[in-house]
Amino acid sequence: MILHQFIDYELLRLIWWVLLGVLLIGFAITDGFDLGIGTLLPFVTKTETERRIAINVIGPTWEGNQVWLILGGGAIFAAWPPLYAVSFSGFYLAMFAILAALILRPVAFKYRSKRDSDRWRSGWDIALFIGGFVPSLIFGVAVGNVLQGVPFRFNNDLRVFYEGTFFGLLNPFALLCGVLSVVMLIMHGSAYLMLKTDGPIAERARSYGALAALVTLVLYALAGIILWLGIDGYVITSAIDPHGPSNPLMKTVAEAPAGWFSNYGAYPVLLIAPILGLAGAALAFYGFRARAEIATLLVSALSIFGMIASVGVSMFPFILPSSLDPRSSLTVWDASSSHLTLFIMLVVTAIFIPLIVAYTSWVYHVLWGKVDANSVDDKSGHAY
């Protein structure tokens, strides 16, 4: 096959860096309100009917939303094998905790109403809370650790060694990022709950959402200040070959104060990402107060887009820096699969991503409208 030669290797690497960001942002925006509503469940609902309404807001769509996470994991495995190897081995216990929490969610959806027992339902409600809170927290903690550098290294045979511990991941800055992730998704979940419900649930979601939007704004700004003043970034100090082999050891890297902000100085247009993160959260706060349902959900999604995109553009071309041996840091240029592999995957992605988007759009069109007591009391057995 020579068709892949028509697309430059450098361009393919850039395309897959962008696609990885799209998949992660897609997961955060779609499944993000599922996680946010799960976290909010004990606080926005007071009666059994209200709890069933909240659960039925996300019950029919959570599986489709989680496809973005599966696609993201698959993209990392196929397009960035060293990234997959380091992150999934180094963060093994953290990944296990996320998967265990996510597994609780479908089980809770299916079994919660199988017995007419308040104690039984309360137990599964706790499971839904764990399934929302724990992944939200750990995803943010992971981002905080990536920004600080992960303690791994390669030897001369490119064998990876991870020398960190699970509790070492729970450092102050990483926990700050974890809390930011939780409140960001609570903001997003509140916006979706306000759109899909009415009455007391919507009012409580509006109150929690406004508070979460304000806290998101403050914590995001605080994280940026700490990153600027107290955490060194990484810069490549040797020549860069965008067409070079996938060998991280063929470069030199140094730590630099405020290194993660150098891209903004070189390309000021990139400032749009953190501006969207801040502006989206601020607009969401006003949207909650004004009861602007659709607009609030949209600007909440815009805030999530800006915050996650700001991490990507700040770190570029790094995708996983090493605090143990900066030279071992993984970048867009030295951690990808082969030219042919990236091209084949791009063709497959060009076919299936539009199908997934079209199907998801159709599902939300069919399920458009508010969930109320009448819909959950439907005797057809379709409600959770």
Tell me which residue has tokens 């057809």: 380
pLDDT value at residue 68: 87
Q: Which residues span the domain enclosing 35?
A: 3-376
* Domain count across the chain: 1
In a domain, 185, yes or no: yes
- Cβ burial of 112 (10 Å; 0-12, 13-18, 19+) is buried
In a domain, 168, yes or no: yes
pLDDT value at residue 378: 62
Residue 319 phi/psi, 5° resolution? Answer: -120, -20
In a domain, 314, yes or no: yes
Q: Which of 340, 323, 343, 322 is nearest to 331 (CA)?
A: 322
C-alpha distances (whole Å) from 97 to each of 100, 133, 258 are: 5, 11, 32
Specify the DSSP class assigned to residue 232.
E
The sign of the torsion formed by the CA atoms of 96, 97, 99, 103 equals positive
In a domain, 383, yes or no: no
- pLDDT tens digit at each of 384 positions of the chain: 565 567 889 999 999 999 999 999 999 999 899 999 999 999 999 998 899 999 989 888 888 888 888 888 888 888 999 999 898 888 888 889 999 999 998 899 888 888 888 899 899 999 999 999 999 999 999 999 999 999 999 998 888 888 888 888 889 999 999 999 999 999 999 999 999 999 999 999 999 999 999 999 999 999 999 999 989 999 999 988 888 888 999 999 999 999 999 999 999 999 999 999 999 999 999 999 999 999 999 999 999 999 999 999 999 999 999 999 999 999 999 999 999 999 999 998 899 889 888 988 898 888 888 887 887 776 555 667
Take residue 174 and report the two structure tokens written for it: 């990483």
- Cβ burial of 40 (10 Å; 0-12, 13-18, 19+) is buried
How many C-alpha atoms does 43 have within 13 Å on its Cβ side? 18
Quote the crossing angle between the two packed helices 92-111 and 81-90, to the nearest 10°. 80
Contact yes or no for 30/301 (Cβ under 8 A)? no
In a domain, 346, yes or no: yes
pLDDT value at residue 195: 94
pLDDT value at residue 44: 94
In a domain, 384, yes or no: no
- State the Cα–Cα distance between residues 34 and 55, nearest whole angstrom: 9
In a domain, 370, yes or no: yes
